[in-house]
Amino acid sequence: MCFEKGQDMREPVIAARDVAFTFGKGDLAKQVLRGVNLTVWPGEIVALVGPSGSGKTTLLTLIGALRTLEQGSLRVLGSELCQASRSQQLQVRRQIGYIFQAHNLMTFLTAQQNVRLALDLHPEIPEARRDPLARDMLSLVGLAERLDSYPTQLSGGQKQRVAIARALAAGPQLILADEPTSALDGQTGREAVDLMRKLARERGCPVLLVTHDTRVVDVAERVIHMEDGQILEKSV
């Protein structure tokens, strides 16, 4: 059951109320989210932490309109995602930048082409602007000299920088990052999240970061703890 839409005078970027989610049906059903309530405001950087299997990634995929919610209320960027149509989900996804543990770069494309590919999903961006935007974003993440490098020619940290550039290139209104440092060493991971924070703040873009990495939690203004599909506590 979905709740009716609501509208605040100052609307949060993410507003989850009594969100529940179950994988499977019948005897195979497993509830992974139970009555989750979460609010993220414009400009915030929020870390979502907790043990494996606590529901963090499932919640992130629902917020990112990558799965369909059927119980509770989840407003993201002003749109209700509970029982949203595919076209409504697509509209929300186009406003979000995603950064994942695996950089998910196309190995047969150069760094510039990988970023350009993300821009090609935005028909409102003139085609003539896409290559310059890709180059500008790669310069911002310190890869101006690696525009024509393929992923196999880049280090792990450089690949994640390309992924950050790709996520931010189209000017998203929200960044969702799922374990973006878990495949990186301590120094490289720290550099990646510091860069993500810097660019997000410069562009006024809120970030929801799922992480197990205690070395980077301090980049967040709030830390939210999850366990067994529920939010246990919030720290400012």
Q: Give residue 58's identity as a one-letter amino acid code.
A: T
- For the domain that residue 212 is a member of, what is the CATH number? 3.40.50.300
Rounded-to-integer distance, Cα 72 and Cα 190, Å: 35
State whether residue 143 is helix, strand or coil.
coil
- Classify residue 143: in a domain, yes or no: yes
Confidence of residue 234 (pLDDT cuts 50, 70, 90): low
pLDDT at site 236? 43
**Quick one: three-class SS letters along 39-76?**
EECCCCEEEEECCCCCCHHHHHHHHCCCCCECCEEEEE
- Classify residue 176: in a domain, yes or no: yes
pLDDT at site 138? 92
Nearest to 224 by CA among 15, 49, 34: 49
Quote the domain boundaries for residue 221.
42-61+93-235
- Classify residue 25: in a domain, yes or no: no
* Sign of the four-CA dihedral 77, 171, 61, 118: positive
* Cα–Cα distance list, 57 to 37, 63, 118, 176 (Å): 15, 10, 22, 10
Indicate the pTM of the whole model.
0.85
Confidence of residue 9 (pLDDT cuts 50, 70, 90): very low
Rounded-to-integer distance, Cα 5 and Cα 229, Å: 23
- Classify residue 23: in a domain, yes or no: no
pLDDT at site 233? 61
Nearest to 188 by CA among 206, 164, 221: 164
Confidence of residue 206 (pLDDT cuts 50, 70, 90): very high
56 pLDDT more than 80: yes
Mean pLDDT calculated for residue range 30-44: 92
**Which segment of 2-11, 172-181, 227-236 scores lowest on mean pLDDT?**
2-11
Q: Which residue carries 């049906």 as its tokens?
A: 25
- Classify residue 5: in a domain, yes or no: no
Q: Phi first, then psi: what are they for 19, rounded to 5°?
A: -75, 125
- Classify residue 114: in a domain, yes or no: yes
* Cα–Cα distance list, 185 to 20, 42, 157 (Å): 35, 30, 9
22 pLDDT more than 50: yes
Average pLDDT over the chain, rounded to an integer? 87
Mean pLDDT calculated for residue range 182-205: 78
Domains: count for the chain: 1
Which is more confidently placed, 157 or 76? 76
235 pLDDT more than 70: no
11 pLDDT more than 50: yes
- Classify residue 17: in a domain, yes or no: no
- Classify residue 113: in a domain, yes or no: yes
pLDDT at site 198? 82
